[in-house]
């Protein structure tokens, strides 16, 4: 059994049940499919007849349990389908950490409230759409996962303590990374640990939950690399973050000791490169957030992509030289396009045979990467310093201020970002995407189009929190905690999806919403170990991230439990457009073989290998619809109105629950989260997983205890 379907209720029906104090029916009952079993070739044939446009909305830093842990029918916090184990039945459900008195404390997942009640009985909103970012470094994630090196199974039991900068020794004592006894834990550290274990639901992200209900939700989709944004952005287009480059060029691997003093490497593995001994960012595979080589001070190209304040332009990572899907998208045009590369000897060193295969076997596929702040068409962020780059000839002080450099995967490959044709034709700002959809200027033959947010938004939205400092800090639209408001972020997705659904593109589209990594938020499912980093820590794969498929051909209300990663999106695109898998390109095969021989790792390289266990998203589609036997899903299921999108908080009812815990948005979309025993409990704000007394979603940006009565949000 690889999926469940949801019984669909209208928002009105569930709202009526809530008002009557009755429980909504289960949203996870099985339905037996009458569809015939099809071979993969038959499925792909049907998909190719209907789907021409693939849109990938690529958001930031959320774990599955943090976002959808109480979505009915999923492998979540409190319930799970047959054959799976919910978090509450795992040892990781009770996390150990230290309180401010250095006493051992316990905490389990809880619902982050919309408001808390003070001792004096006052209801105080805490605005959970704006949360702190927790530790999502490679070392921190590895610490939280606590993978058994012998079995490869993660205990997932150090998430909370990792936020306090702590770990455990060989006998389970809580210690500092150096093995010493802790000497202090601040209130902010304790609250950060608590926030890491908390979760949100449809009261905070109702659009996301509504799409999950109406279309397809994946509850076994994992980030590719154990680490932060950059390696997983790269993995979205390459299925790896540099493993084959590591295998082919051992001088580009690790040679300098860890630079993170909080988590020194006990095995003596190294980060850095022989090429630039003073540059601790220059190594592969990438497991951190360094700036890219293209656009940096080391890049001597005449035309360079933008470089913003995020990263040090003097210490970029290496120029990445392995194959990507954008390279494959060049197809029969590849030799004409790469003729514009200003430095082909270096940029194309590791793809010479790949180029020949792509030229002879792959069709040309239109593509575009659209990212907030990449060009002058996006709104500047007045609270961020400007960036630099050849496309800024007038030194416009507002340019690139909303651009998050280390989130742009194509910019890490000079054969893409330093190629003037690719830079001008394929790399764009976020507003350019909306303009292209609304003006219907996307190629008529279809293609693959990626969309990312950034530090600001183009719609003038500000958080509901009235505190000016928080409104300034959380203008972002890509869901990344610490700078993005989650409602502004789902508004960004909703505007794009509603534009697609209101255009002719809808009838031939598949929209994928996915995330790069978890931010370090708790997730109870152990990732599968496929490859190992130089220090023996887990490289691939990582914890679960939210993923949805929205399409007129989607299998409505289905939850996929099939094991998937970012490479699954690559597989789907390969199959849909007839591309040779990256893993089967000759230079990648050579790198994989060398990795197996010299590094002892047979599974290095692109994760789109057709013979591995990763899914390909094809289970998300209703082949009765694709064959014409059933009507497509209506565009209205995907659309939110401009008024709904711009009105924050989304779909909420003022003064809904007496204690302010809930706001009615879940009732508005017709879903009862699994941590509420009844609709009445939801209306009263009484979940089975209440918040801890010191809860604070932003302990460093809004310090103090909200329930104290003297807190400023």
Query: pLDDT tens across 569-619, in order?
Result: 999 999 999 999 999 999 999 999 998 888 888 899 999 999 999 999 999
| Residue 282 pLDDT | 80
Q: Distance between CA 55 and CA 437 in Å, rounded?
A: 11
pLDDT grade for 396, boundaries at 50, 70 and 90 = low
Identify the CA nearest to 371 among candidates 520, 494, 496: 496
User: Exposure of 628 by Cβ count < 10 A (0-12 exposed, 13-18 middle, 19+ buried)?
Assistant: exposed
pLDDT grade for 235, boundaries at 50, 70 and 90 = very high
| Structural domain for 571, as ranges | 208-621
Residue 598 lies in a domain: yes
Contact in structure between 408 and 233 (CB atoms under 8 Å): yes
Q: Is the omega angle on the peptide bond into residue 285 within 30 degrees of 0, that is, cis?
A: yes
In the three-class reduction of DSSP (H, G, I as helix; E, B as strand; rest coil), residue 107 is classed as strand
Identify the CA nearest to 637 among candidates 546, 548, 556, 547: 556
| Residue 580 pLDDT | 99
The alpha carbon torsion through 574, 575, 576, 579 (nearest 10 deg) reads 40
How many other C-beta atoms are found inside a 10 Å radius of the C-beta of residue 397? Answer: 12
| Residue 504 pLDDT | 98
Residue 360 lies in a domain: yes
| Residues in the chain, overall count | 713
Q: Distance between CA 570 and CA 58 in Å, rounded?
A: 13
Please write down the long-range contacts of 680-687, taking CB distance under 8 Å and 24 or more positions apart: 680/18, 680/21, 680/22, 680/23, 682/18, 682/657, 683/18, 683/19, 683/21, 683/656, 683/657, 684/657, 684/658, 684/659, 685/113, 685/657, 685/658, 685/659, 685/660, 685/661, 686/661, 687/110, 687/111, 687/661
| Ramachandran sector of residue 707 (left: φ over 0; alpha: ψ -120 to 50; beta: rest) | alpha
294 token code pair: 């293209």
Q: Which residues have CB under 8 Å from 308's CB, separation 6+?
A: 373, 384, 386, 387, 388, 400, 401, 403, 404, 405
For range 279-292, the mean pLDDT:
86
Given a cut of 50, whether residue 18 has pLDDT beyond it is no
| Residue 356 pLDDT | 99
Q: Distance between CA 571 and CA 396 in Å, rounded?
A: 40
For range 185-213, the mean pLDDT:
98
Note the pLDDT tens digit of each residue in 407-416.
999 999 999 9
String of DSSP letters for 399-426? TTTT--GGG-GGGG-HHHHT-HHHHHHT
Residue 90 lies in a domain: no
Residue 458 lies in a domain: yes
Q: Distance between CA 378 and CA 381 in Å, rounded?
A: 9
70 token code pair: 């109480």
pLDDT grade for 380, boundaries at 50, 70 and 90 = confident
Please, what's the b/e burial string for 270-298 (b: 16 or more CB within 10 A of its CB; e: otherwise)?
Answer: bbbbeebeebbbbbbbbbbbbbbbbbbeb
| Residue 266 pLDDT | 30
Residue 150 lies in a domain: no
Contact in structure between 554 and 609 (CB atoms under 8 Å): no
- State in Å, rounded, how far the first CA of the chain is from the last one: 46
Given a cut of 70, whether residue 388 has pLDDT beyond it is no
Contact in structure between 384 and 401 (CB atoms under 8 Å): yes
Cα 363–chain centre separation:
29
The DSSP output letter for 590 is H
Q: Distance between CA 247 and CA 599 in Å, rounded?
A: 7
Q: Distance between CA 542 and CA 232 in Å, rounded?
A: 10
Per the structure, how many domains does the chain have? Answer: 1
Q: Angle CA(697)–CA(66)–CA(687) in degrees, nearest 5?
A: 75
- Residue 279 parent element (H or E): none
Residue 266 lies in a domain: yes
pLDDT grade for 398, boundaries at 50, 70 and 90 = low
Given a cut of 90, whether residue 83 has pLDDT beyond it is yes
Identify the CA nearest to 486 among candidates 61, 195, 110: 61
For range 316-321, the mean pLDDT:
95
How many other C-beta atoms are found inside a 10 Å radius of the C-beta of residue 637? Answer: 17
Note the pLDDT tens digit of each residue in 477-528.
999 999 999 999 999 999 999 999 999 999 999 999 999 999 999 999 999 8
Residue 518 lies in a domain: yes
Q: Distance between CA 88 and CA 198 in Å, rounded?
A: 14
| Residue 175 pLDDT | 95
Count of CA atoms in the C-beta half-sphere (13 A) of 425: 13
Query: From residue 372, how far is each of 52, 58, 421, 478, 647 by CA, in Å?
Result: 25, 12, 20, 9, 21
pLDDT grade for 383, boundaries at 50, 70 and 90 = low
| Residue 627 pLDDT | 96
For range 45-51, the mean pLDDT:
98
The DSSP output letter for 493 is H
Per-residue HEC secondary structure of 618-684 comes to: HHHECHHHHCCCCCCCCHHHCCCCHHHHHCCCCCCCCCCCCCCCCCCHHHHHCCCCCCCCCHHHHHH
For range 556-567, the mean pLDDT:
98
409 token code pair: 């995967």
| Residue 562 pLDDT | 98
Query: From residue 407, how far is each of 37, 290, 417, 608 by CA, in Å?
Result: 39, 10, 13, 21
Angle between helices 566-577 and 40-50 (to 10 degrees): 70
Given a cut of 70, whether residue 268 has pLDDT beyond it is no
Note the pLDDT tens digit of each residue in 104-113.
999 999 999 9
User: Exposure of 94 by Cβ count < 10 A (0-12 exposed, 13-18 middle, 19+ buried)?
Assistant: middle
Contact in structure between 35 and 537 (CB atoms under 8 Å): no
Residue 320 lies in a domain: yes
| Ramachandran sector of residue 145 (left: φ over 0; alpha: ψ -120 to 50; beta: rest) | alpha
For range 293-321, the mean pLDDT:
90
| Residue 476 pLDDT | 96
| Residue 384 pLDDT | 63
Task: State how beta strands 367-371 and 427-429 pair.
Answer: parallel
Q: Which residues have CB under 8 Å from 110's CB, separation 6+?
A: 194, 197, 198, 199, 687, 689, 690, 691, 692, 695
Q: Distance between CA 400 and CA 429 in Å, rounded?
A: 10
String of DSSP letters for 336-353? HHHTT-S-HHHHTTT-HH
60 phi and psi angles, rounded to 5 deg: -125, 135
Given a cut of 80, whether residue 285 has pLDDT beyond it is yes
Q: Distance between CA 528 and CA 542 in Å, rounded?
A: 7
For range 360-366, the mean pLDDT:
98
Angle between helices 486-501 and 430-438 (to 10 degrees): 30
For range 626-644, the mean pLDDT:
98
The DSSP output letter for 543 is -
Given a cut of 60, whether residue 255 has pLDDT beyond it is no
Which of 298-302, 533-537, 700-704 has the highest average model confidence (pLDDT)? 700-704
Query: From residue 278, how far is each of 255, 257, 316, 343, 698 by CA, in Å?
Result: 11, 12, 11, 24, 36
Query: From residue 97, how far is each of 102, 263, 367, 384, 707 by CA, in Å?
Result: 9, 17, 46, 35, 21
Given a cut of 80, whether residue 260 has pLDDT beyond it is no
Given a cut of 50, whether residue 263 has pLDDT beyond it is no
Residue with tokens 């940029």: 347
225 token code pair: 């690399």
| Residue 382 pLDDT | 67
- How does the average pLDDT of the chain come out, rounded? 90
- The pTM score is 0.92
Contact in structure between 274 and 288 (CB atoms under 8 Å): no
Q: Which residues have CB under 8 Å from 343's CB, separation 6+?
A: 300, 301, 414, 418
For range 266-287, the mean pLDDT:
55
Residue with tokens 């302010």: 660
């Amino acid at each position: 059994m690889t999926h469940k379907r949801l019984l669909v209720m209208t928002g009105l029906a569930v709202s009526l049940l809530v008002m009557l104090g009755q429980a909504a029916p289960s949203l996870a009952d099985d339905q037996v499919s009458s569809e015939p079993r099809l071979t993969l070739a038959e499925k792909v044939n049907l998909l190719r007849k209907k789907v021409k446009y693939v849109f990938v909305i690529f958001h930031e830093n959320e774990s599955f349990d943090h976002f959808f842990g109480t979505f009915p029918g999923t492998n979540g916090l409190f319930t799970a389908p047959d054959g799976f184990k919910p978090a509450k039945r795992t040892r990781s459900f009770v996390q150990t950490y230290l309180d401010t008195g250095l006493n051992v404390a316990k905490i389990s997942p809880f619902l982050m409230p919309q408001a808390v009640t003070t001792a004096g009985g006052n209801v105080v909103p805490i605005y959970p759409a704006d949360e702190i970012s927790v530790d999502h470094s490679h070392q921190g994630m590895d610490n939280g996962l606590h993978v058994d090196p012998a079995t490869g199974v993660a205990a997932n039991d150090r998430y909370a303590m990792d936020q306090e900068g702590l770990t455990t020794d060989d006998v389970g004592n809580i210690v500092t990374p150096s093995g010493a006894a802790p000497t202090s834990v601040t209130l902010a550290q304790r609250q950060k640990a608590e926030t890491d274990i908390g979760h949100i639901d449809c009261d905070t992200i109702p659009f996301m939950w509504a799409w999950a209900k109406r279309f397809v939700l994946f509850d076994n989709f994992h980030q590719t690399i154990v680490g932060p944004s950059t390696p997983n952005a790269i993995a979205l287009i390459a299925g790896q973050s540099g493993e084959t480059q590591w295998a082919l060029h051992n001088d580009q691997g690790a040679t300098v000791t860890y630079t993170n003093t909080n988590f020194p490497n006990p095995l003596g593995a190294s980060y850095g490169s022989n090429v630039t001994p003073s540059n601790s960012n220059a190594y592969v595979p990438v497991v951190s957030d360094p700036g890219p080589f293209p656009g940096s001070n080391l890049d001597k190209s005449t035309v360079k992509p933008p470089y913003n304040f995020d990263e040090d332009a003097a210490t970029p990572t290496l120029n990445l030289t392995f194959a990507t899907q954008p390279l494959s998208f060049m197809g029969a045009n590849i030799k004409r396009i790469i003729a514009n590369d200003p430095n082909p000897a270096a940029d194309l060193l590791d793809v010479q045979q790949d180029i020949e295969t792509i030229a002879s076997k792959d069709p040309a596929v239109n593509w575009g990467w659209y990212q907030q702040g990449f060009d002058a068409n996006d709104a500047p962020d007045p609270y961020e310093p400007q960036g630099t780059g050849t496309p800024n000839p007038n030194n416009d002080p507002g340019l690139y201020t909303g651009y998050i450099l280390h989130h742009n995967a194509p910019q890490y490959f000079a054969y893409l970002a330093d190629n003037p044709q690719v830079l001008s034709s394929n790399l764009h700002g976020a507003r350019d995407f909306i303009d292209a959809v609304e003006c219907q200027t996307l190629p008529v033959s279809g293609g693959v189009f990626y969309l990312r947010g950034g530090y600001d938004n183009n719609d003038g939205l500000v958080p509901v929190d009235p505190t000016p400092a928080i409104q300034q800090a959380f203008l972002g639209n890509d869901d990344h905690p610490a700078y993005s408001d989650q409602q502004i972020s789902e508004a960004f997705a909703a505007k794009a999806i509603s534009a697609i659904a209101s255009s002719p593109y809808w009838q031939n589209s598949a929209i994928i919403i996915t995330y790069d990594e978890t931010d370090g938020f708790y997730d109870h499912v152990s990732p599968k170990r496929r490859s190992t980093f130089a220090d023996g820590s887990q490289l691939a794969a990582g914890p679960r991230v939210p993923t949805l498929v929205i399409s007129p051909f989607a299998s409505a209300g289905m939850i996929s439990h099939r094991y998937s990663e970012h490479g699954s999106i690559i597989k789907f695109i390969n199959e849909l457009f007839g591309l040779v898998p990256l893993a089967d390109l000759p230079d990648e095969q050579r790198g994989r073989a060398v990795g197996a021989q010299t590094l002892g790792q047979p599974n290095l390289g692109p994760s789109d290998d057709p013979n591995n266990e990763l899914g390909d998203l094809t289970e998300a589609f209703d082949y009765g619809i694709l064959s014409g036997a059933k009507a497509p899903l209506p565009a209205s299921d995907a659309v939110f109105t401009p008024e709904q999108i711009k009105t924050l908080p989304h779909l909420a009812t003022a003064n809904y629950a007496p204690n302010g815990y809930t706001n009615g948005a879940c009732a508005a979309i017709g879903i009862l989260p699994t941590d509420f025993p009844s609709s009445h409990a939801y209306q009263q704000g009484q979940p089975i997983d209440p918040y801890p007394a010191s809860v604070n979603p932003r302990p460093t940006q809004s310090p103090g205890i909200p329930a104290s009565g003297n807190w400023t949000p």
